[in-house]
Every structure is written in C-alpha cells, then in structure tokens.
C-alpha cells in the first residue's frame, strides 16, 4: 500500500478557530483507495508557510502528498504559487483531470507535480471538492508512484 500525507492549508484551522473538515474526508478517501496516511499537518495560508511545509513533508518521502485548501481566488489562496516554488517537475495532466472532475473544479488553480520521490497534488479546501479532485486521479496514482520509484511501465 502506498503512503500518503495530508497538508491542510487554512489560517483559521491553524489558529484553532475552525475545524478541519476537508482533511478527514480526504483521509477517508485516500484509505478507501489503498493509501496509508502516515502524516498530517495544518498550516496557515501564505507563500512561505505552505512552501516550507510542502518541502518538509516531501523530504525523503516516497509517496503522495495532498494539500487541501488555498487553491481558489481569495487573496489568501496562494497554495499553487507556494507549491510551485518547491516542485521539481509539473504533472499538468493530473491538475487538468482534477479540475475537470466537477463544474466548480474549473475554479481551482491547484497544481500537481513531483518533489524528489514525492508526488504532490493541490486539491480544493471544501470537503466535496477535495474528495472529487482526488478521486478523479486516484486510479493512476499508484502507477505514477511506481514509475517515480524506478519501476518499468507495464
């Protein structure tokens, strides 16, 4: 079973003012698709906090890192920009598939890509948007991680 980590991006959740609703829903979806959630962090919105958290969670990690939150149009929504600061390579097909998962997905600016041996996905902060986006690409993620680890295409 592949490993996964979750990064919830929300200033109000990080401050303890609001419950994390998307993280638990995302964890359940990951586990339903055979992933083992081995790490979970909450961080406030912002370029530096998010970029630093993505880099730290991906360091020496061969698995999937899913960020939830900060992908929309609010001024504080900078998760894609922060993630882009640390990615090695982009995976635009994954981001495009996630956006196509639902009509509101077109409002997500999330990116996907690799950082070392870690595959990073930005999904929306709403519970439904997070799960829909993840499920839109879940069927190819194990294969992507296998390829990243040096496995041969089937």
Q: What does the pLDDT look like over 100-112, one tens digit per residue?
A: 999 999 999 999 9
The number of beta carbons lying within 10 Å of the beta carbon of residue 20 is: 21
Predicted confidence (pLDDT) at residue 151 exceeds the cutoff of 80 = no
* Residue of 86 and 152 predicted with greater confidence: 86
Burial grade of 1 (CB within 10 A; 0-12, 13-18, 19 or more): exposed
Predicted confidence (pLDDT) at residue 154 exceeds the cutoff of 60 = no
Residues of the chain above pLDDT 90, percent: 95
Helix count and strand count (H, E) for the chain: 6, 6
Nearest to 9 by CA among 41, 37, 36: 41
Q: What global pTM score does this model have?
A: 0.96
Predicted confidence (pLDDT) at residue 1 exceeds the cutoff of 90 = no
Average of per-residue pLDDT values in the chain: 96
Q: Which CATH number fits domain 3-148: 3.10.450.50, 2.30.110.10, 3.50.50.60, 3.40.980.10?
A: 3.40.980.10
The number of beta carbons lying within 10 Å of the beta carbon of residue 151 is: 11
């Amino acid at each position: 079973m592949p490993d996964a980590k979750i990064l919830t991006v929300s200033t109000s959740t990080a401050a303890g003012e609001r419950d994390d609703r998307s993280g638990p829903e995302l964890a359940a979806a990951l586990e339903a698709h055979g992933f083992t959630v081995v790490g979970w962090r909450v961080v406030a919105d912002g370029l530096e906090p998010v970029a630093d958290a993505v880099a730290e969670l991906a360091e020496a990690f061969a698995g999937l890192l899913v960020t939830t939150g900060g992908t929309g149009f609010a001024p504080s929504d900078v998760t894609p920009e922060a993630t882009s600061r640390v990615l090695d390579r982009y995976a635009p097909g994954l981001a495009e598939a996630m956006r196509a998962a639902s009509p509101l997905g077109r409002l997500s600016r999330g990116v996907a890509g690799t950082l070392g041996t870690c595959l990073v996905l930005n999904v929306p902060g709403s519970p439904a948007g997070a799960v829909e986006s993840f499920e839109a690409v879940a069927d190819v993620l194990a294969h992507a991680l296998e390829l990243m680890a040096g496995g041969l295409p089937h």
